[in-house]
């Protein structure tokens, strides 16, 4: 019985009068029943605040909020039937791990036996069975975070809210947890809003991603769409790591095809009908090519194991290129770059807004 | 905190603590040795000298048979009056203060801070002012000269103070904990009972100590609002200590004083053990 | 339903509100009314005398002495108890051995009623029985400590006994606060290179601010209401050299059958307190650095 | 097992006469808690229990009844006053003015109190011509006590009759290494001594003008200055540790031979007798210097509150009657050191000091030397009394106050309404 | 003047007697002056504890610790001249952000003017200038973490200790911070120990990586070495995300060359001289190939934007393969896999220890 979540024109300001800080500026999001919405955005953009408002922990300054079709503004958190993982864990310091996990169930009058079973299930899933008798102060950071997760996962709520639940886990565990969350979501179909800073999590977990900046929703779309067709340079730069390369330049038209000219080089690409544009190219779509005419100097070579990122200084700025792990290039070398031409992101130069006309218009 | 076992700092720490302990213990020492001396010894000896023998007569006398007025049952009956008065009054006023403090720190509402300010200012009202109107109120309620009346008075008089203790302690408890509990489905009372109260051990102990001491040692209300059958121990003690025949029985007075103070001291010893528990460390980041 | 949860906290605080106001403020008003009547032995509301009681009050030497004593006493007593209590709490927090025993030793004076500790202190401070005699007996003939019988100094004896009784409680309050502080903050300060005294002064004390606030309030109200202490130790004497407003008020209202005058003195007491405490309350309750 | 101990039940020896339907409780608020006084109270208790009442003892010690007065007011205001309470002097009239006291003429009339009691005493017991209180005893305040051993050692022969003689004797005692004057530094003790000094220096008539009528002229007269000077001089004979000392500890100094003289009311005699001493042998008693022909009296009494319950009213009557009964007066006053209020009471069983007191009482009553004690709440309203007491005590304790200022302060205090 | 750090036989147990938990078991690490050591390991393995011991916040149960050649056991933290970022931030709640950052400088008697300058520099670097007057309670999670960073970076210590300093930052900011840290380290050359869960951080920041597990040091080596030659299956699986695929099987020798045979397939590879082995292959070294003989069923397709990870179920377990972003494969398809053969990791089957003999022994 998945519930929908409708956020309508939510505004939130902290403080009063002159000192007021507007943290959310008219957020509208509709989350379908059973959806897994990822919420991303730079630090301090208002993600946690939005979750708090959904949970009923903060009152919005303005706006409406419907859960399962019911207006919940003013309804106390306990009645909203929401499970939440706090960014700051917020573990009960006086309770053991088991009690922390079981508390919400107890509040819902789940019989002791069922509760214990559930606690053990969840603890097993999170690999913290051996810690059940400890208190939060005796746990490591990652262990605390898993307890915080366990507290939410033990329940069967209308809505899950996760605020960076895996940030303190190692990569391996994070992959496992991610898979676990995905599996659980498949099984239960509970509507979920999930804040993360992890690109992989964002791309793989969610059915849609909402990108926020400074309290304003920038884009909300499927991961694939967001990655491939970011609606502005902000989203384009925010999603994907290393970040997308931006090349400001001019379009020089000649009949049907055009040419993109920029300081230090030019590219033969299907171009939009706008003069001043910015071309966005992700690191994996730029290739090193010894004899390419567009050249620059290598300033940084970062092997990450699976790949090596090469940062090249050009007239239009630093370009990051993903190269194979065994690339032999070195700092100080001169490198040429080519662009495949099939993954062009065109943005209006001044507004940064995506030029939609070019979507689906790929070179052969 | 780490420190080398025998650093200069440690010596200073222990030195200061020891000197302070002596200062605090001196009157007790005097009282204790005096209570075991007999009259002649008190007169001849010096303040600090040890008694020649441990003479428990004064203690027996103080407990069972010392006279105040025509009544020669020692402190015993007063003692039990005090117990019946102090225990409920302490528990009620502490619980009341805890709940008030909880509301005033975690469920703030418009005007709650002002309300708190008003309550606090009430702490400063001299109790003497209360005596006569309070008698009248107790008379109306039919509680005058009864233990129940004393309990009521002590609860009212102590409420502002206990509220202050809890409220100020709770302001340091991270809000996130309450938020988490609200999400977990706990309501107002459950959050209090399960989350907040378990974290309150140190301040609970302080408040219990405070209230128990105040109520147990109160004389003014005890003398003004009690009847012949409900006089608390301080009144008994006062009668005894101010009751004098030619040779002032310092030894009995001191024994009586120690007896009167025993329950409070016991509470301190017991309460003190819980000081270390209930730490909030590691609760949240930031 | 939803309004109930919002209402509940208010309902819960309501009794405190109602009783607080009825008893505290009701009685205050009652007292104010009495102070403009000519009440003598028992309250008498028929005889309106205007401000005559106040005039008489300010005309009395004894009242001036009482106010002056209150000033000296509260300042030294509150300051002394806080300072000693803080030092003891901090030192006890250094993972010392026998902490439990020491804590009890520092606290127990609170346990004893002043009716008797007054007697003990009276004895110790009495020049011909106590400390002075002890020192003389021990061969220190020039030692002199006769404050208790000196009109000008007797009030300081009251201060000493007061600090003796209350410092332990201040210590307990501080210790409770100290024990509630997150360890990692102290660790961070150590890493930042702060010495232990500085850590306490700059990091811990500010965090303890609400506790300090409680302690100041509690101690100052004790000092203003210091009745038992003075009664037991000096009964206001020698003469009325150690009289304080609380004993003054009690004596006037209950012994001398001048309830009107007593009420006037109580009103003045409250007014004095208000003048000092209300701004403090206001600033403390307004600045909310601890809200999370 | 603890439960039974918890509720204090008055230890009642089975009364012989009373048939035992629920006994009426007689709750008596008093401040007789010291040894001799308590024994006296026990006497009264016994008599009432013999009449079938339950005696509820409400003793509140301390400070000459200050605490007891607080309790009494609190109880009165709550509408739950005790059956009777120990109140004396002009305060009786004040209570009566509040309309709280019961008329006990029904006892006083048949028992002929008007004839039994000296008029000065009877007047104090009446309000608007009706008896509202029952007197217990008469204390003489202007006594001087002495330890004969100390006097002998110092070479003092007999009790000084005038203040000059006193100072000569005191100097001798001082020289012999003892404390000349035992004094407790509490304000009422200061005041007690002061009262005797004024009586001794100025005589009964002056005393009456200055300390009873509070005549401003008398209060600022040279006689007053002389009295205050004498008073100041006394301080030189008191030890350092006097501050805050209880009166009986002070008496003990005389008993133990540490000090020569003490000025205190005749209740001090109880301490001497309790210590096993006899008048004339272990201790000496005499009127304070210059007051042989005067008598400052202090009468203890019980006021009766208006009660609704008839059985309780009956109890009050029986209590009043018991208080005045010769048997009680005899035993009580022997314990307490005072003399019976009943005129013509047979004094044969009393000691010499009491006999002297009784004789002086009758004599001064006739000669006009009988004056109420101001220090013990018999002369003026509590407010004025308290204010004067403050001034006197302040003067005593603060040597920086000049005699002239002392006189001025006292006169000013006497103006307190 | 970079300082060395020598950790010798450090042991640490929490609790006493029966309840004792041994968290560190004889750790030996030598950090050269100016080195940037990355400390990784699963949650709860003892990383924070080790940092605490280095900082002097916990006493080791046993062992020696030398900073700049000086034994520092028993020396109070303030004298060790260390700057540390706490995993739990540990901000001073009553101080403003500026005061938090400036506190350590003040303690070191840096004049007010210099201090303010430094605070603003650091705040600028961390993009928190606009928050300098706030208190920690008024900050978002990521902002708090940056303040915690600022507190350390404002200083010029002998040793930097970072405990997951970037875990709550978004990818973009994290990249910037990473670059900043790298730059600072280059400039100052201050010896640094850095705990992280982020693979990229681990691979790109450090000069060496120490991998811990259950309080035991597993391997300490350069990033490249750790990635390419993990010394046992644990390290192999821990480093790299998604994790390395392990294929247990037998070596069938035939003359000089051998053949690796396992359930459901076999590979022609230069094989070690051991019978029972486990072959480790990273996802990027397995390729999808429609006609390869080693086959399995696709159970999960995870597009991450730049790449798509395909999880294939085989007789020897799940294999994760990195495929190009535009891979058209779908869940349920059958897929064939080949191995390049140049990046083989051979491990002893039972002990999991790397078979060193094969290193450098690559197929042509
Ligand atoms: N006070 C304590 N009492 C008992 N065990 C403790 C205590 N503190 C920490 N531990 C345990 O010690 C182990 C190591 O903790 P530590 O904090 O060093 O882990 P960590 O490697 O930093 O983990 P994470 O990556 O999750 O932060 C953990 O298993 C933890 O549960
Ligand atoms: N009590 C407060 N008073 C003033 N500003 C606040 C308060 N609480 C939060 N803010 C500000 O609101 C903004 C949004 O905070 P929020 O916690 O929602 O950010 P976030 O998106 O969760 O960031 P992060 O990813 O760093 O956790 C931040 O800039 C923060 O500084
Ligand atoms: Mg957040
Ligand atoms: Mg950690």
Residues in chain B: 286
Query: Which pLDDT does position B275 carry in this prediction?
Result: 63
Cα B139 to Cα D75: distance, rounded to the nearest angstrom: 9
Q: How far is C-alpha E208 from the chain's CA centre?
A: 10
- Tell me the two tokens of residue B217: 């040692």
Question: What is the per-residue pLDDT across A229-239, written as a single tens digit (0 to 9) for each?
Answer: 999 999 999 99
Cα C289 to Cα D13: distance, rounded to the nearest angstrom: 68
Cα D7 to Cα B129: distance, rounded to the nearest angstrom: 30
Query: Which pLDDT does position B2 carry in this prediction?
Result: 41
Question: What is the per-residue pLDDT across B165-181, written as a single tens digit (0 to 9) for each?
Answer: 898 888 877 778 888 88
Query: Which pLDDT does position E64 carry in this prediction?
Result: 93
Q: How far is C-alpha C278 from the chain's CA centre?
A: 16
* Residues 6 or more apart whose Cβ sits within 8 Å of residue D101: D92, D95, D127, D132, D133, D303, D304, D305, D306
pLDDT at B281 over 60: no
Cα A88 to Cα D71: distance, rounded to the nearest angstrom: 58
Intra-chain end-to-end CA distance of chain A, in Å: 46
- The more confidently predicted of residues A11 and C51 is A11
Q: Comparing C-alpha atoms, which of C266, C55, C255 is closest to residue D384?
A: C255
Q: Residue C122 and residue D382: Cβ atoms within 8 Å?
A: no
Query: Which pLDDT does position D15 carry in this prediction?
Result: 40
Strand order in the sheet with A276-281: A265-269, A257-262, A245-254, A276-281, A345-348
Measured between CA atoms, how close is E179 to chain A, in angstroms? 10
Q: Is residue E355 part of a domain?
A: no
pLDDT at B47 over 70: no
Q: Comparing C-alpha atoms, which of C31, C215, C242 is closest to residue C153?
A: C242
Query: Which pLDDT does position D277 carry in this prediction?
Result: 83
Residues with Cβ within 6 A of ligand 1? A 138-143, 168; E 14-15, 21, 23, 41, 43-49, 87
Asked if residue C235 lies in contact with residue D392, where contact means CB atoms within 8 angstroms, the answer is no
Question: What is the per-residue pLDDT across C124-146, written as a single tens digit (0 to 9) for each?
Answer: 777 666 677 777 777 777 766 66
Residues A125 and A208 in one domain: yes
CA E214 to ligand 1 centroid distance, Å? 10
Query: Which pLDDT does position B248 carry in this prediction?
Result: 59
Q: Do chains D and A touch (3 or more CB pairs under 8 A)?
A: no
pLDDT at A101 over 70: yes
Q: Rounded to 10 degrees, what is the CA torsion of B73, B75, B77, B81?
A: 160
Question: What is the per-residue pLDDT across D232-243, written as a single tens digit (0 to 9) for each?
Answer: 999 889 987 777
pLDDT-derived band at D4, boundaries 50, 70, 90: very low
Asked if residue A194 lies in contact with residue A5, where contact means CB atoms within 8 angstroms, the answer is no
Cα D63 to Cα B279: distance, rounded to the nearest angstrom: 49
Q: Do chains D and E touch (3 or more CB pairs under 8 A)?
A: no
What integer is the mean pLDDT of D391-407? Answer: 88
Residues A136 and A170 in one domain: yes
Composition of chain E by helix, strand, coil, percent to 5 = 30, 35, 35
Q: What distances in angstroms separate CA D269 from CA B43, D284, D345, D358, one per listed residue?
A: 22, 10, 20, 15
Average pLDDT for chain B? 78
Residues of C in contact with D97 (CB under 8 A): 41
What integer is the mean pLDDT of A348-364? Answer: 73
What integer is the mean pLDDT of B6-15? Answer: 78
What is the ipTM for the molecules in this complex?
0.81
Q: SS3 for chain C, per residue? A: CHHHHHHHHHHHHHHHHHHHHHHHHHHHHHHHHHHCECCCCCCCCCCECCCHHHHHHHHCHHHHHHHHHHHHHHHHHHHHHHHHHHHHHHHHCCCCCCHHHHHHHHHHHHHCCHHHHHHHHHHHHCCCCCHHHHHHHCCCCCCCCCHHHCCCCHHHHHHHHHHHHHHHHHHHHHHHHHHCCCHHHHHHHHHCCCCHHHHHHHHHHHHCHHHHHHHHHHHHHHHHCCCHHHHHHCCCCCCCCCCCHHHHHHHHHHHCCCHHHHHHHHHHHHHHHHHHHHHHHHHHHHCCCCCC
Query: Which pLDDT does position A150 carry in this prediction?
Result: 93
Measured between CA atoms, how close is D270 to chain B, in angstroms? 8
Average pLDDT for chain A? 89
Residues of D in contact with B246 (CB under 8 A): 35, 248, 251-252, 255, 271-272, 274-275
Average pLDDT for chain D? 83
* Alpha helix segments (H runs only) across chain A: 47-55, 77-80, 97-107, 112-126, 141-153, 171-188, 199-205, 223-228, 233-238
pLDDT at B3 over 60: no
Count of the separate structural domains present in chain E: 2
Query: Which pLDDT does position D19 carry in this prediction?
Result: 43
Say what percent of chain D tops pLDDT 70: 93
Average pLDDT for chain C? 80
Lowest mean pLDDT: which of A132-136, B141-145, E166-170?
A: B141-145
CA A140 to ligand 4 centroid distance, Å? 5
- The more confidently predicted of residues A34 and C43 is A34
Say what percent of chain A tops pLDDT 70: 97
Q: Comparing C-alpha atoms, which of E20, E224, E196 is closest to residue A327?
A: E224
pLDDT at E297 over 60: yes
Interchain CB contacts (distance < 8 Å): A and C: 12
Composition of chain A by helix, strand, coil, percent to 5 = 30, 35, 35
Cα A62 to Cα A28: distance, rounded to the nearest angstrom: 12
Lowest mean pLDDT: which of A309-313, A334-338, C252-256, D326-330?
A: C252-256
Cα C258 to Cα C38: distance, rounded to the nearest angstrom: 8
pLDDT at E293 over 70: yes
Cα B274 to Cα B263: distance, rounded to the nearest angstrom: 17
Q: Is residue A361 part of a domain?
A: no
pLDDT at D16 over 50: no
Any bridge partners for residue D54, and if so which?
A: D25
Composition of chain B by helix, strand, coil, percent to 5 = 70, 0, 30
Query: Which pLDDT does position E113 carry in this prediction?
Result: 94
Question: What is the per-residue pLDDT across C143-189, written as a single tens digit (0 to 9) for each?
Answer: 666 677 677 778 888 888 888 888 888 888 888 888 777 777 888 88
Q: What is the CATH number of the domain that holds A306?
A: 2.40.50.140
Interface residue D12 vs chain B (CB under 8 A): no
CA E43 to ligand 1 centroid distance, Å? 8
Q: What 8-state DSSP symbol labels residue D23?
A: P
What integer is the mean pLDDT of B106-133? Answer: 80
What integer is the mean pLDDT of B89-114? Answer: 88
Intra-chain end-to-end CA distance of chain C, in Å: 27
pLDDT at C2 over 60: no
Which candidate in D77, D249, D283, D336 is best for mutational testing of the B interface (most B CBs within 10 A)? D77
Question: What is the per-residue pLDDT across A162-207, written as a single tens digit (0 to 9) for each?
Answer: 999 998 888 888 888 898 899 899 888 999 999 998 888 898 898 9
What integer is the mean pLDDT of E204-231? Answer: 92
pLDDT-derived band at B249, boundaries 50, 70, 90: low
Q: Which residues surround ligand 3, an ion (CB under 5 A)?
A: A 48, 87; E 140-141
Question: What is the per-residue pLDDT across D159-208, written as a single tens digit (0 to 9) for each?
Answer: 888 999 999 999 999 888 889 899 988 888 899 999 999 999 988 889 98
Residue numbers of C between 159 and 198 with CB closer than 8 Å to A:
183
Cα D261 to Cα C47: distance, rounded to the nearest angstrom: 48
Q: Residue A89 and residue B279: Cβ atoms within 8 Å?
A: no
Question: What is the per-residue pLDDT across C256-268, written as a single tens digit (0 to 9) for each?
Answer: 878 888 888 888 8
What integer is the mean pLDDT of A35-53? Answer: 93
Residues of B in contact with C175 (CB under 8 A): 202, 275
pLDDT at B37 over 80: no
Residues E182 and E117 in one domain: yes
Residues A260 and A216 in one domain: no
pLDDT at B99 over 90: yes
- The more confidently predicted of residues E357 and A210 is A210
pLDDT-derived band at D36, boundaries 50, 70, 90: low
- Tell me the two tokens of residue B31: 């009282």
- Domains belonging to chain B, first-starting first, are 8-54 (no CATH), 75-284 (1.10.3720.10)
* Residues 6 or more apart whose Cβ sits within 8 Å of residue E328: none
In terms of CA atoms, which chain C residue is nearest residue A80? C2
Q: Is residue A339 part of a domain?
A: yes
The architecture that CATH gives domain C62-287 is Orthogonal Bundle (1.10)
Any bridge partners for residue E308, and if so which?
A: E303, E323
Residues A198 and A249 in one domain: no
pLDDT at D211 over 60: yes
Q: Is residue E358 part of a domain?
A: no
Query: Which pLDDT does position E53 carry in this prediction?
Result: 93
Q: Do chains C and D touch (3 or more CB pairs under 8 A)?
A: yes
pLDDT at C80 over 90: yes
Lowest mean pLDDT: which of A239-253, C65-79, C96-110, E137-151?
A: C96-110
Residues A262 and A165 in one domain: no
**Residue ending a domain, choose from E233, E263, E279:** E233
Query: Which pLDDT does position A7 carry in this prediction?
Result: 94
Q: Which residues surround ligand 4, an ion (CB under 5 A)?
A: A 140-141; E 48, 87
Say what percent of chain B tops pLDDT 90: 6
Cα C255 to Cα D386: distance, rounded to the nearest angstrom: 8
Cα D396 to Cα D198: distance, rounded to the nearest angstrom: 14
- Tell me the two tokens of residue C292: 């999370």
Say what percent of chain A tops pLDDT 90: 50
Q: Is residue E360 part of a domain?
A: no
Residues of D in contact with B241 (CB under 8 A): 61
Q: Is residue A353 part of a domain?
A: no
pLDDT-derived band at E364, boundaries 50, 70, 90: very low
Measured between CA atoms, how close is A76 to chain C, in angstroms? 6
Q: Comparing C-alpha atoms, which of B166, B191, B169 is closest to residue B178?
A: B191
Cα E8 to Cα D47: distance, rounded to the nearest angstrom: 93
Residues E124 and E176 in one domain: yes
At residue D162, the 3 state secondary structure works out as coil
Residues A80 and A219 in one domain: yes
Residues A120 and A194 in one domain: yes
Q: Say if residue E142 is exposed, middle or buried (CB neighbours under 10 Å; 0-12, 13-18, 19+).
A: buried
Cα B149 to Cα A353: distance, rounded to the nearest angstrom: 77
Query: Which pLDDT does position B282 carry in this prediction?
Result: 37
pLDDT-derived band at B280, boundaries 50, 70, 90: very low
pLDDT-derived band at E123, boundaries 50, 70, 90: very high
Atom of ligand 1 nearest to the CA of A144: 26
Peptide bond into C236 cis (omega under 30): no
Q: Whose CA is nearest to atom 14 of ligand 1?
A: E46
Give the one of A49, A171, A199 whose C-beta lies nearest to E197's C-beta.
Answer: A171
Peptide bond into B191 cis (omega under 30): no
| Exposure on the CB side of residue E63, measured as CA atoms within 13 A | 24
pLDDT-derived band at B239, boundaries 50, 70, 90: confident
In terms of CA atoms, which chain A residue is nearest residue E21? A138
pLDDT at B42 over 70: no
* Residues 6 or more apart whose Cβ sits within 8 Å of residue D387: C60, C256, D413, D414, D416
Nearest ligand by distance to the CA of E140? 2
Q: Is residue E238 part of a domain?
A: no
What integer is the mean pLDDT of B207-216? Answer: 86
Q: What 8-state DSSP symbol labels residue A231?
A: S
Residues E102 and E60 in one domain: yes
* Domain range enclosing A289: 243-348
CA B236 to ligand 2 centroid distance, Å? 62
Q: Is residue E364 part of a domain?
A: no
pLDDT at B245 over 60: no
Cα C81 to Cα C215: distance, rounded to the nearest angstrom: 9
Asked if residue D304 lies in contact with residue D315, where contact means CB atoms within 8 angstroms, the answer is no
Asked if residue C278 lies in contact with residue B121, where contact means CB atoms within 8 angstroms, the answer is yes
Q: Which residue has tokens 């060790």?
A: E80
**Residue ending a domain, choose from A191, A207, A233:** A233
- The domain limits of chain C are 62-287
pLDDT at E146 over 90: yes
pLDDT at B70 over 50: yes
Residues A224 and A79 in one domain: yes
Residues in chain C: 292
Lowest mean pLDDT: which of C4-18, C134-148, E257-271?
A: C134-148
Measured between CA atoms, how close is A174 to chain C, in angstroms? 26
Measured between CA atoms, how close is B44 to chain E, in angstroms? 55
Lowest mean pLDDT: which of A89-98, C278-287, D211-220?
A: C278-287
Residues A15 and A134 in one domain: yes
pLDDT at E361 over 70: no
Query: Which pLDDT does position D14 carry in this prediction?
Result: 39
CA A47 to ligand 2 centroid distance, Å? 8
Interface residue E104 vs chain C (CB under 8 A): yes
Nearest ligand by distance to the CA of E145? 2
Asked if residue D166 lies in contact with residue D247, where contact means CB atoms within 8 angstroms, the answer is no
Q: Which of A10, A16, A20, A21 to mutate to test the pocket of ligand 2 (most atoms within 8 A of CB)?
A: A21
Query: Which pLDDT does position C268 carry in this prediction?
Result: 87
Cα C250 to Cα C269: distance, rounded to the nearest angstrom: 12
Q: What is the CATH number of the domain that holds E54?
A: 3.40.50.300
Give the one of D239, D382, D397 whose C-beta lies nearest to C255's C-beta.
Answer: D382
Q: Comparing C-alpha atoms, which of B75, B214, B144 is closest to residue D71?
A: B144
């Amino acid at each position: 019985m998945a519930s929908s979540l409708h956020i309508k024109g939510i505004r939130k300001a902290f403080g009063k009068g002159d000192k007021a800080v507007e943290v959310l500026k008219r957020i509208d999001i509709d989350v379908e029943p059973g959806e897994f919405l990822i919420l991303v955005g730079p630090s301090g953009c208002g993600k946690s605040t939005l979750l708090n408002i959904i949970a009923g922990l903060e009152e919005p300054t303005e706006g409406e909020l419907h859960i399962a079709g019911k207006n919940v503004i003013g309804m106390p958190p306990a009645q909203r039937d929401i499970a939440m993982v706090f960014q700051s864990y917020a573990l009960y310091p006086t309770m053991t791990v088991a009690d922390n996990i079981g508390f919400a169930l107890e509040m819902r009058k789940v019989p002791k036996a069922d509760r214990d079973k559930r606690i053990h299930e969840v603890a097993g899933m999170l690999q913290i069975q051996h810690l059940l008798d400890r208190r939060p102060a005796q746990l490591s950071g990652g262990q605390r975070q898993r307890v915080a997760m366990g507290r939410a996962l033990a329940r069967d709520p209308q809505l899950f809210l996760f605020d960076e639940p895996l940030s303190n886990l190692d990569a391996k565990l994070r992959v496992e947890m991610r898979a676990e969350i995905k599996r659980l979501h498949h099984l239960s179909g509970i509507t979920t809003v999930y804040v993360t800073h992890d690109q992989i999590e964002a791309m793989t977990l969610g059915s849609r991603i909402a990108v926020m900046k400074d309290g304003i929703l920038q884009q909300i779309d499927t991961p694939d769409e967001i990655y491939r067709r970011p609606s502005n340079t902000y989203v384009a730069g925010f999603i994907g790591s290393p970040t997308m390369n931006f090349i400001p330049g001019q379009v020089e038209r000649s009949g049907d095809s055009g040419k993109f000219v920029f300081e230090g080089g030019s590219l033969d690409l299907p171009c939009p009908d706008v003069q001043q544009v910015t071309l966005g190219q992700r690191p994996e779509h730029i290739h090193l090519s010894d004899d390419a005419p567009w050249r620059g100097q290598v300033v940084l070579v970062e092997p990450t194991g699976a790949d090596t990122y090469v940062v090249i200084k050009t007239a239009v700025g630093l370009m990051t290129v993903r190269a194979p792990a065994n690339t032999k290039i070195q700092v100080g070398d001169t490198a040429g770059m080519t662009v495949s031409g099939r993954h062009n992101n065109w943005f209006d130069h001044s507004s940064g807004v995506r030029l939609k006309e070019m979507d689906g218009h790929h070179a052969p | 905190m780490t420190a080398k076992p025998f650093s200069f700092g440690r010596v200073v720490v222990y030195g200061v603590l020891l000197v302070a302990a002596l200062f605090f213990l001196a009157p007790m020492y005097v009282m204790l040795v005096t209570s075991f001396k007999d009259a002649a010894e008190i007169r001849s000896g010096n303040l600090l000298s040890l008694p020649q023998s441990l003479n428990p007569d004064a203690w027996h006398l103080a407990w069972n048979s010392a006279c105040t007025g025509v009544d020669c049952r020692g402190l015993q009956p007063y003692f039990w009056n005090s117990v019946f008065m102090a225990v409920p009054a302490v528990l009620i006023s502490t619980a009341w203060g805890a709940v008030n403090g909880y509301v005033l720190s975690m469920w703030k509402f418009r005007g709650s801070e002002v309300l708190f300010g008003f309550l606090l200012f009430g702490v400063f009202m001299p109790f003497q002012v209360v005596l006569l109107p309070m008698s009248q109120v107790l008379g109306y309620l039919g509680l005058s000269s009864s233990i129940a009346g004393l309990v009521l008075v002590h609860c009212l008089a102590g409420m502002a103070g206990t509220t202050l203790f809890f409220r100020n302690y709770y302001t340091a408890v991270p809000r996130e904990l309450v938020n988490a509990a609200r999400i977990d489905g706990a309501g107002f009372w459950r959050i209090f009972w399960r989350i907040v109260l378990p974290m309150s051990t140190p301040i609970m102990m302080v408040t219990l100590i405070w209230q128990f001491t105040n109520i147990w040692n109160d004389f003014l209300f005890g003398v003004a609002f009690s009847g012949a059958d409900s006089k608390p121990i301080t009144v008994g003690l006062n009668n005894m200590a101010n009751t004098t025949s030619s040779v002032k029985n310092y030894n009995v007075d001191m024994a009586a004083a120690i007896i009167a103070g025993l329950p409070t001291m016991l509470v301190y010893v017991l309460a003190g053990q819980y000081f270390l528990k209930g730490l909030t460390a590691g609760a949240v980041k930031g | 339903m939803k309004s109930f949860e919002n209402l509940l906290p208010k309902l819960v605080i309501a009794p405190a509100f109602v009783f607080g106001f009825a008893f505290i403020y009701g009685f205050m008003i009652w007292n104010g009314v009495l102070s403009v009547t000519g009440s003598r032995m028992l309250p008498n509301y028929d005889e309106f005398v205007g401000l005559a009681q106040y005039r008489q009050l300010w005309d009395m030497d004894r009242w001036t002495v009482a106010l002056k004593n209150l000033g000296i006493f509260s300042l030294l007593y509150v300051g002394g108890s806080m300072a000693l209590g803080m030092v003891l709490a901090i030192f006890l927090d250094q993972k010392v051995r026998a902490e439990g025993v020491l804590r009890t030793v520092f606290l127990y004076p609170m346990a004893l009623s002043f009716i008797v500790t007054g007697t003990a202190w009276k004895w110790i401070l009495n020049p011909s029985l106590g400390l002075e005699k002890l020192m003389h007996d021990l061969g220190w003939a020039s030692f002199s400590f006769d404050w208790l019988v000196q009109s000008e100094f007797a009030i300081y004896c009251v201060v000493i006994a007061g600090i003796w009784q209350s410092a332990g409680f201040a210590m307990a309050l501080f210790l409770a606060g100290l024990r509630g502080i997150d360890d990692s903050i102290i660790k961070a300060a150590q890493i930042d290179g702060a010495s232990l005294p500085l850590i306490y002064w700059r990091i811990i004390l500010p965090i303890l601010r609400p506790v300090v606030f409680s302690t100041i309030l509690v101690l100052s109200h004790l000092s203003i209401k210091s009745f038992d202490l003075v009664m037991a130790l000096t009964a206001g004497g020698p003469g009325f050299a150690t009289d304080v407003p609380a004993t003054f008020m009690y004596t006037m209202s209950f012994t001398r059958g001048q309830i009107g005058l007593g009420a006037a003195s109580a009103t003045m007491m409250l007014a004095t307190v208000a003048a000092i405490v209300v701004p403090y309350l206001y600033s403390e309750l307004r600045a909310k650095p601890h809200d999370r | 097992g603890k439960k039974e101990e918890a509720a204090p039940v008055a230890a009642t020896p089975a009364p012989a006469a009373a048939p035992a339907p629920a006994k009426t409780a007689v709750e008596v608020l008093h401040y007789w808690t010291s040894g001799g006084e308590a024994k006296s109270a026990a006497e009264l208790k016994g008599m009432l229990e013999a009449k079938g009442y339950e005696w509820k003892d409400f003793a509140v010690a301390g400070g000459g009844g200050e605490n007891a007065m607080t309790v009494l007011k609190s109880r009165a205001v709550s509408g739950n006053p005790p059956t009777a309470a120990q109140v004396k002097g002009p305060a009786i009239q004040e209570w009566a003015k509040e309309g709280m006291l019961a008329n006990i003429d029904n006892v006083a009339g048949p028992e002929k109190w008007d004839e039994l009691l000296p008029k000065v005493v009877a007047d104090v017991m009446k309000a608007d011509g009706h008896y509202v209180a029952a007197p217990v005893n008469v204390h003489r305040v202007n006594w001087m006590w002495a330890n004969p051993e100390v006097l002998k050692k110092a070479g003092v022969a007999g009790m000084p009759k005038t203040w000059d003689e006193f100072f000569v004797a005191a100097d001798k005692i001082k020289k012999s290494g003892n404390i000349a004057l035992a004094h407790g530094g509490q304000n009422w003790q200061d005041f007690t001594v002061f009262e005797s000094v004024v009586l001794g220096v100025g005589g009964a008539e002056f005393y009456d003008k200055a300390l009873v009528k509070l005549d401003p002229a008398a209060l600022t007269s040279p006689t007053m200055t002389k009295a205050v000077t004498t008073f100041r001089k006394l301080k030189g004979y008191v030890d350092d540790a006097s501050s805050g000392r209880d009166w009986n500890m002070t008496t003990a100094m005389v008993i133990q031979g540490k000090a020569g003289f003490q000025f205190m009311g005749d209740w001090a005699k109880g301490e001497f007798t309790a210590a096993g001493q006899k008048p004339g042998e272990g201790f000496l008693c005499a009127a304070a210097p210059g007051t042989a022909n005067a008598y400052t009296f202090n009468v203890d009494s019980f006021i009766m509150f208006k009660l609704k319950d008839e059985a309780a009213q009956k109890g009050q009557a029986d209590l009043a009657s018991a208080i005045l009964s010769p048997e009680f007066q005899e035993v009580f006053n022997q314990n307490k050191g005072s003399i019976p209020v009943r005129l013509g009471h047979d004094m044969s069983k009393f000691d010499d000091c009491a006999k002297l007191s009784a004789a002086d009482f009758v004599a001064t009553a006739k000669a006009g030397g009988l004056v109420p004690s101001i220090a013990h709440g018999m002369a003026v309203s509590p407010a004025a009394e308290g204010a004067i007491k403050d001034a006197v005590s302040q003067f005593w304790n603060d040597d920086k106050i000049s005699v002239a200022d002392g006189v001025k302060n006292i006169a000013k205090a006497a103006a307190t309404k």
